[in-house]
């Protein structure tokens, strides 16, 4: 799949949640779920991890909910971090109904609407 098509898919996913919601969700605890979404569309997608965030490698490029990631020096192939683990989506996530997170998401959505 070509780069522009991948960016279009990411943009569609990002717009599927109002305001900055998708960006916030997929950069604050659900980055692995974002990888799984891309992998369901692009089966050769691979997860890379830097002990804080997961990005997706497709071909020779890397992506997350914000688009293409250029600075990938800290990221390692996920299986290098967890070679003996079959990770499930619920093992790397944040509960998004946590009130602190919901308040921050609402605030970001208001800021987006006002700009």
Cα distance between residue 28 and residue 9, in whole Å: 20
DSSP 105: H
Model pTM above 0.85: no
Which structure tokens are listed for 77? 């192939």
pLDDT, tens only, 51-101: 889 999 999 999 999 999 999 989 999 876 666 655 554 444 444 445 555
Please report which confidence band the pLDDT of residue 17 belongs to, taking 50, 70 and 90 as the band edges: confident
Angle at 109 between CA 64 and CA 103, to 5 degrees: 100
Give Cα 28 distance to the centre of its chain: 9
Query: Are the C-beta atoms of residues 47 and 18 closer than 8 Å to each other?
Result: no
Residue 46: pLDDT over 90: yes
Residue 47: pLDDT over 70: yes
């Amino acid at each position: 799949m070509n780069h522009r098509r991948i960016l279009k898919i990411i943009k569609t996913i990002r717009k599927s949640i109002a305001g900055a919601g998708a960006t916030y969700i997929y950069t604050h605890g659900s980055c692995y779920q974002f990888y799984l979404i891309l992998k369901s569309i692009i089966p050769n997608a691979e997860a890379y991890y830097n002990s804080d965030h997961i990005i997706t490698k497709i071909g020779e490029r890397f992506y997350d909910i914000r688009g293409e990631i250029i600075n990938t020096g800290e990221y390692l192939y996920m299986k290098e971090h967890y070679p003996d683990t079959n990770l499930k989506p619920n093992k790397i996530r944040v509960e998004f109904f946590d009130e602190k997170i919901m308040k921050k998401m609402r605030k970001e959505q208001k800021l987006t609407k006002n700009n």
